[in-house]
Amino acid sequence: MSEKQKFQAIKGTRDLLPPETALWNHVEHTAHAVFSTFGFGEIRLPIFEPTELFARAVGGETDIVSKEMYSFPDPFDLGELYARFRSLESISPGAGHFASIAGLSPDNQMISLRPEATASVCRAYIQHGMHSLPQPVKLYYTGPMFRRERPQKGRYRQFYQIGAEVLGGTDAPAIDAEVIEMVMTFFARLGLAGVKLDINSIGCRECRPEYVKLLKAELSKPEIKEKLGADSQRRIETNPLRVLDSKLESEQPIIEKLPRIAEHLCAACAAHYASVKHNLVLRNVAYHENWRLVRGLDYYMRTTFEITAPGLGSQNAVCGGGRYDGLIEILGGLPTKGIGFAIGEDRLILSLQEAGKAPAPRRLDVYVAWMGEKAYDTAVRAARALRGAGFAVELPATAQKFGKALGHADKLGARYALILGEDEVASGQWTLKTLSDGSQSKFTEPELLAHLKL
């Protein structure tokens, strides 16, 4: 970086600028509108939580927790000692590092920027005794998540998710189907084209371990294992289900012949899955069964789903979700049913943009072209009145040549220029020019407001 441009956004973070932000707002407003019609209320959550919360929910040995979270000792809890070392940093480089080491003592809490929000929602459900509300509790959220990994298309270190969770009450398949219906409705409302819904059931605590054991045994057979790539060979031990996810062309024929979980579900899970599908048909939701769709984390069970959209590159999932009936209990709550999803907002926006869904251009109604210091007071008054009536108004801060002013109005895309010079101030007859055709006419202030409101 040159001396001139010293600072830039940290790797994997980015600025969202107008007019693109208009599209973000549109997406979020649409989410609010659609989710409300399904009876969901918004929850706003902290963006940092105790590291332990994520370690428990997501799993301490996962890459997410062990490598990809932004974690640090809470400077507040570290108190005087930490603060003192930090303050020494400028005169004694390394002091801060020492403080960090000191901060790892059991007395001090580690905190993390949230890598996802499901754990926080569950924590809030427990903390606020939501089990005593009418069940189930239906919540949605939007906001930034943080994950320390190599950025690529549609993947950032600070990324945004729109998610929803249904907690408590029944695990009836109707709920799974309705949650999926809600996402699909949301995407349809946005005009997102080419979406594909994949669903699967990954069984429960009873039947999944049996299947995993079977799968692992199969994968471990020498004649199969030797045909797999290094990554998949490693997964046989670490997470055999993920072998099914492999994108390697050479592995596809092998994977096709592996045992499928749908054929090894217990009776209860099989019935649940069948009913989810039936309920999707009832709701007119088109789905593809994808027996290879798995979730990486242990707490997921039964229904899993994923929605892909075009234009996203390698990371083409725009929404992922599933049932996690055990999670609240893991976090110290009562046994509680749960299902939810998270939408990758960055990817959703990207897909909308690729499809040419341009953001609504900034609307500017009136450019106040005032001339001469004598007209300034009137210009301010006009701008206040117009804005008060809800119009978007640009009031130049400094005097400029008249031709310049109109040129500026044109570049800003204003619909009208309100021309205020000595004549107008003297007569009280303001000149309104329509930029598109160049026509203009005179109005008093009240007439002008009435005219523009038409």
Partner RNA sequence: GUGGGCGUAGCUCAGCUGGUAGAGCGCCGGUCUGUGGCACCGGAUGUCGCGGGUUCAAUCCCCGUCGCCCACCCCA
Subset of 363-392 contacting RNA (CB under 7 A): 371
Q: Show contacts with RNA in window 191-230 (CB under 7 A).
A: none
- What whole-number distance in Å separates Cα of residue 116 and Cα of residue 127? 18
Angular region, 370: left φ>0, alpha ψ -120 to 50, beta rest: beta
Among 80, 411, 446, 454, binds RNA (CB under 7 A): 411
How many positions of this chain bind RNA (CB under 7 A)?
71
Residue 369, token pair as written in the block: 């072209």
Among 177, 228, 406, 448, binds RNA (CB under 7 A): 406
Between the alpha carbon of residue 394 and those of residues 340, 373, 404, the distances in Å are 45, 17, 14
Residue 27 or 319 with smaller CB distance to RNA: 319
Q: Show contacts with RNA in window 228-247 (CB under 7 A).
A: 231, 234-235, 238-239, 242, 245-247
For residue 418, the 8-state DSSP code is E
In sequence order, the 6+-apart residues with CB closer than 8 A to the CB of 413 are 361, 362, 364
Name the minimum Å distance from CB 70 to RNA.
Answer: 10
Residue 265 or 350 with smaller CB distance to RNA: 350
Residue 66 or 105 with smaller CB distance to RNA: 66
Among 7, 314, 334, 356, binds RNA (CB under 7 A): 314
153 binds RNA (CB under 7 A): yes
φ, ψ (nearest 5 deg) of residue 375:
-90, -10
Burial (CB < 10 A; 0-12, 13-18, 19+), residue 265, is buried
Q: Which range touches RNA (CB under 7 A), out of 7-15, 190-198, 266-274, 325-333? A: 7-15
Q: Which range touches RNA (CB under 7 A), out of 95-103, 129-137, 184-192, 401-409? A: 401-409
Among 149, 210, 354, 445, binds RNA (CB under 7 A): 149
Residue 106, preceding peptide bond in cis (omega within 30° of 0) = no
* Tally of CB atoms within 10 A around 52: 15
Residue 269 or 293 with smaller CB distance to RNA: 293
Residue 78 or 331 with smaller CB distance to RNA: 331
SS3 percent helix, strand, coil of the chain, rounded to 5, is 45, 20, 35
Q: Which helix (H) or strand (E) holds 108?
A: none
Angular region, 14: left φ>0, alpha ψ -120 to 50, beta rest: beta
Residue 417, token pair as written in the block: 């220029």
Among 87, 127, 250, 440, binds RNA (CB under 7 A): 440
Q: Show contacts with RNA in window 284-313 (CB under 7 A).
A: 295-297, 300, 313
Is the Cβ–Cβ distance between 443 and 432 less than 8 Å?
yes
- What whole-number distance in Å separates Cα of residue 16 and Cα of residue 146? 16
Q: Show contacts with RNA in window 30-49 (CB under 7 A).
A: none
Q: Show contacts with RNA in window 57-86 (CB under 7 A).
A: 58, 62-64, 68-69
Residue 225 or 408 with smaller CB distance to RNA: 408
Q: Show contacts with RNA in window 415-434 (CB under 7 A).
A: 419, 421-424, 431, 433
Residue 78 or 369 with smaller CB distance to RNA: 369
Q: Which helix (H) or strand (E) holds 71?
A: strand 71-73
Residue 23 or 243 with smaller CB distance to RNA: 243
Among 24, 48, 98, 402, binds RNA (CB under 7 A): 402
Is the Cβ–Cβ distance between 69 and 47 less than 8 Å?
no
Q: Say whether 415 sits in a helix, a strand or coil.
A: coil
Among 19, 94, 407, 428, binds RNA (CB under 7 A): 407
Q: Which range touches RNA (CB under 7 A), out of 75-83, 184-192, 215-223, 403-411? A: 403-411
Dihedral over Cα of 77, 107, 117, 152: its sign: positive
Name the minimum Å distance from CB 267 to RNA.
Answer: 26
Q: Show contacts with RNA in window 109-128 (CB under 7 A).
A: 115-116, 118
Between the alpha carbon of residue 258 and those of residues 239, 248, 379, 383, the distances in Å are 15, 15, 76, 71
Among 1, 334, 397, 454, binds RNA (CB under 7 A): 1
